[in-house]
């Protein structure tokens, strides 16, 4: 079977496509790798954020104008400054804790790719396809390869024994809020496109 890199790349890009009207996050990085972790093709969607900014519109307005509190209420100039500072400090600590728990670290593409490849190369098909880590959620989905062509018995050919992989692995990476159902649906979409191009 001959693989067309252009088709593979287009299929991966289509898998990462998302509708801005969707409420759920979608995967932002997709890789197709061999059974031993060899990279076949990869792509990333720059329009899909790697991490979510928990800062609300009210908080952004507070930073710009200085007259809106983190809760969005108008600040009363007659309030005790010490109480206001204490409230703001507590809210800041809460926001910091949420950021630590929910945000994935932003990594440049080469570093993110290296970490995902390292993770995927250790995966076995009998293990869970779902992984939650510092990169967010990672789904590993086997992609079948068509069986090797067997020449007609009447054609004399030298016997060459090679171990051909039976499948590749699709790796989808989303944020910690990307639903597993969305990742699975995207993997199924790629699998159907793959079957068409691979002639399975």
CATH numbers and ranges of domains, the chain: 5-52+108-198 (3.30.450.30), 53-69+86-102 (no CATH)
pLDDT band at 171 (very low <50, low <70, confident <90, very high): very high
Q: What is the mean pLDDT of residues 118-123?
A: 87
**Confidence check: pLDDT of 37 > 60:** yes
Query: Which residues are bridge partners to 173 per DSSP?
Result: 29, 138
Q: Model-level pTM?
A: 0.64
- Mean pLDDT for all residues in the chain: 71
**Confidence check: pLDDT of 102 > 70:** no
Confidence at residue 17, expressed as pLDDT on a 0 to 100 scale: 81
**Confidence check: pLDDT of 82 > 70:** no
**Confidence check: pLDDT of 86 > 70:** no
Confidence at residue 6, expressed as pLDDT on a 0 to 100 scale: 84
> Which pairing describes strands 39-44 and 130-133: parallel, antiparallel, or unpaired?
unpaired
Spatial CB neighbours of 137, under 8 Å, sequence gap ≥ 6: 130, 131, 173, 174, 175, 176, 178, 180, 183
Q: Which residue has the higher pLDDT, 80 or 143?
A: 143
């Amino acid at each position: 079977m001959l693989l067309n890199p252009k088709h593979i790349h287009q299929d991966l890009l289509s898998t990462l496509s998302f509708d801005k009207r969707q409420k759920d996050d979608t995967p932002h990085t997709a890789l197709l790798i061999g059974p031993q972790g060899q990279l076949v093709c990869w792509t990333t969607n720059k329009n899909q954020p790697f991490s979510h900014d928990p800062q609300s519109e009210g908080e952004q307005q507070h930073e710009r104008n200085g007259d809106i509190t983190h809760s969005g209420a108008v600040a009363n100039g007659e309030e005790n400054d010490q109480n206001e500072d204490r409230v703001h400090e507590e809210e800041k600590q809460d926001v910091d804790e949420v950021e630590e728990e929910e945000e994935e670290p932003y990594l440049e593409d080469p570093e993110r790719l290296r970490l995902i490849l390292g993770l995927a190369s250790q995966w076995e098909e009998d293990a869970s396809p779902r992984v939650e880590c510092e990169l967010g959620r990672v789904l590993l989905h086997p992609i079948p390869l068509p069986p090797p062509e067997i020449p007609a018995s009447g054609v004399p050919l030298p016997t060459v024994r090679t171990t051909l992989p039976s499948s590749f692995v699709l790796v989808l990476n989303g944020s910690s809020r990307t639903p597993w159902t969305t990742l699975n649906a995207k993997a199924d979409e790629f699998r159907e496109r793959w079957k068409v191009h691979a002639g399975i």
